């Protein structure tokens, strides 16, 4: 029996609307099994690994957008090759792509290259903007959210709240919570 499997991902917990939209689209496409996570594409993606392990010959993997699945063109190529070896077809909804056809596979590779180029251009513009802001003395960087909440994380941990729950309540990663708890003997707290 073949399965229609969906994979949804957003980079942060704040992207609730986008995450819910992905889940709705995947369910509407008939996904009988959903793998979902809210982690950066560069972080370890346990649900993606579980999804890839779950897939069997004849199954279909559906994602709403290419960037929800792959980090870059090289990663996309690895994933597509692995899916092909397993006999799994990939569908990318926003592009209308289906790798079960030669044309779909070609277009997917071309779109992946264009997406990576676009991302690199965006990062270059961002770096230029930061350099300009620094030269004008306007750039201060991102506020260290997790460090500002280190004391609260330690207090919650002392109350017996799990690291996962602390992370969810404070809107930070579990790794940040772990670091905050580990640094409890720090000479100063970040406020």
Domain boundaries, the chain: 4-115, 145-182
Q: What is the pLDDT of residues 118-144, one digit of tens each?
A: 888 988 999 999 899 889 988 877 766
CA–CA separation, 29 vs 23, rounded Å? 10
Helix (H) or strand (E) holding 53: helix 46-54
Nearest to 29 by CA among 93, 125, 108: 93
CA–CA separation, 57 vs 50, rounded Å? 16
CA–CA separation, 88 vs 164, rounded Å? 33
CB count, 10 Å around CB of 81?
A: 10
CA–CA separation, 54 vs 83, rounded Å? 11
Q: What is the pLDDT of residues 41-61, one digit of tens each?
A: 777 889 999 999 999 999 999
The answer to whether 172 touches 145, Cβ cutoff 8 Å, is yes
Q: What is the pLDDT of residues 79-91, one digit of tens each?
A: 988 998 999 999 9
The answer to whether 178 touches 163, Cβ cutoff 8 Å, is yes
Q: What is the pLDDT of residue 8?
A: 94
**Averaged over 113-119, what is the pLDDT?**
80
**Averaged over 148-160, what is the pLDDT?**
85
Tokens of 51: 């999804």
Which of 11, 40, 173, 176 is catalytic? The answer is 11
Give domain 4-115's CATH superfamily: Resolvase, N-terminal catalytic domain (3.40.50.1390)
CB count, 10 Å around CB of 9?
A: 24
Q: What is the pLDDT of residues 2-26, one digit of tens each?
A: 899 999 998 876 677 888 999 999 9
The answer to whether 38 touches 68, Cβ cutoff 8 Å, is no
Q: Is 11 a catalytic residue?
A: yes
């Amino acid at each position: 029996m073949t399965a229609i499997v969906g994979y949804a991902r957003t980079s942060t917990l704040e992207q609730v609307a986008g995450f819910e939209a992905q889940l709705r689209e995947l369910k509407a496409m008939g996904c009988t099994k959903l793998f979902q996570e809210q982690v950066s594409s560069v972080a370890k993606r346990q649900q993606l690994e579980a999804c890839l392990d779950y897939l069997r010959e004849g199954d279909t993997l559906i994602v709403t957008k290419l960037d929800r699945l792959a980090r870059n063109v090289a990663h996309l190529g690895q994933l597509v090759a692995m899916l092909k070896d397993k006999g799994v077809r990939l569908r990318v909804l926003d592009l209308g792509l289906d790798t079960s056809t030669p044309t779909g596979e070609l277009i997917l590779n071309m779109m992946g290259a264009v997406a990576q180029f676009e991302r690199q251009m965006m990062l270059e513009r961002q770096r230029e903007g930061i350099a300009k802001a620094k030269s004008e003395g306007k750039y201060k960087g991102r506020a260290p959210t997790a460090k500002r909440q280190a004391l609260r994380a330690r207090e919650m941990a002392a109350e017996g709240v799990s690291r996962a729950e602390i992370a969810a309540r404070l809107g930070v990663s579990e790794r940040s919570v772990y670091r905050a708890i580990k640094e409890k003997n720090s000479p100063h707290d970040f406020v």
